[in-house]
Amino acid sequence: MTDKESTDLSRGEMNVWRGASIFVAVFCIATLTINAQSYDTVIANGRVIDPESGLNAVRNIGITNGKVVIVTSKRLIGKTIVEARKLVVAPGFIDLNTYGMPQDNDRFRAMDGVATALDLEGGTGDVDLWYRARAGRSALNYGVGIGHEPVRMAVMKAPIKLSLFGEYINSATGDAARKPASETELNEIKRLVERGLRQGAVSVSFGIEYTPGASPWEILEMFRLAAKYGASCHVHMRSLENHYFLETEEMIAASVITGAPVHIKHIHSSCGPDSAQCLQILNEARTSGVKITTETYPYTVGMTNIESSLFDGWEGKPDEYFARMTWAKTGEQITKQNMAEFRKIGGWVAVYPRNSEAAERSLRAAIAHPLTMIASDGTQGADGSGHPRSSGTYARILGRYVREEKLIQLVDAIRKMTLMPALQLEGRVPAMKNKGRIRVGADADIVIFDPNTIIDRSTFEEPAKQSEGVRFLMIGGSFVVKGGKFQAGVFHGRPIRAASR
Give me the number of domains the chain comprises. 1
In a domain, 32, yes or no: no
Q: Is 291 within 8 Å of 203 (Cβ atoms)?
A: no
In a domain, 36, yes or no: no
Query: What pLDDT score does 30 carry?
Result: 44
> Is 242 exposed, middle or buried, given 0-12, 13-18 or 19+ CB atoms closer than 10 A?
exposed
Q: Is 211 within 8 Å of 239 (Cβ atoms)?
A: no
Q: Which residues of the chain have pLDDT under 50?
A: 4-7, 9, 14, 16-17, 20, 22-36
What is the Cβ-side half-sphere exposure of residue 185, based on CA atoms within 13 angstroms?
A: 18
> Is 161 exposed, middle or buried, given 0-12, 13-18 or 19+ CB atoms closer than 10 A?
exposed
In a domain, 229, yes or no: yes
Per DSSP, 157 falls in state T
Q: Is 352 within 8 Å of 325 (Cβ atoms)?
A: yes
Q: What SS3 state is found at 346? A: coil
Please give the residue range of the domain that contains residue 134: 91-301+353-450+458-486
In a domain, 97, yes or no: yes
DSSP letters along 242-302, please?
Answer: T-HHHHHHHHHHHHHHH---EEES-HHHHHGGGHHHHHHHHHHHHHTT--EEEEE-S-S-E
Give CA–CA dist 175/181, Å, rounded: 9
Give CA–CA dist 339/306, Å, rounded: 9
In a domain, 196, yes or no: yes
In a domain, 49, yes or no: no
Query: What pLDDT score does 384 carry?
Result: 80
Q: Give, to the nearest 10 degrees, the angle between helix 183-198 and helix 148-155.
A: 130
Q: Is 386 within 8 Å of 304 (Cβ atoms)?
A: no
Q: Count the neighbouring beta carbons within 10 Å of the beta carbon of residue 189.
A: 22
Q: Is 72 within 8 Å of 54 (Cβ atoms)?
A: no
Q: Is 261 within 8 Å of 232 (Cβ atoms)?
A: yes
Query: What pLDDT score does 164 carry?
Result: 63
Query: What pLDDT score does 171 carry?
Result: 81
HEC string for 429-469: CHHHHHCCCCCCCCECCEEEECCCCCECCCCCCCCCCCCEC
Q: Is 82 within 8 Å of 483 (Cβ atoms)?
A: no
In a domain, 167, yes or no: yes
In a domain, 312, yes or no: no
Q: Cα angle vertex 267, ends 191, 393, to 5°?
A: 100
Residue 314's nearest CA partner among 346, 341, 339 is 339
CATH of the domain at 95: 3.20.20.140
Length of the chain: 501
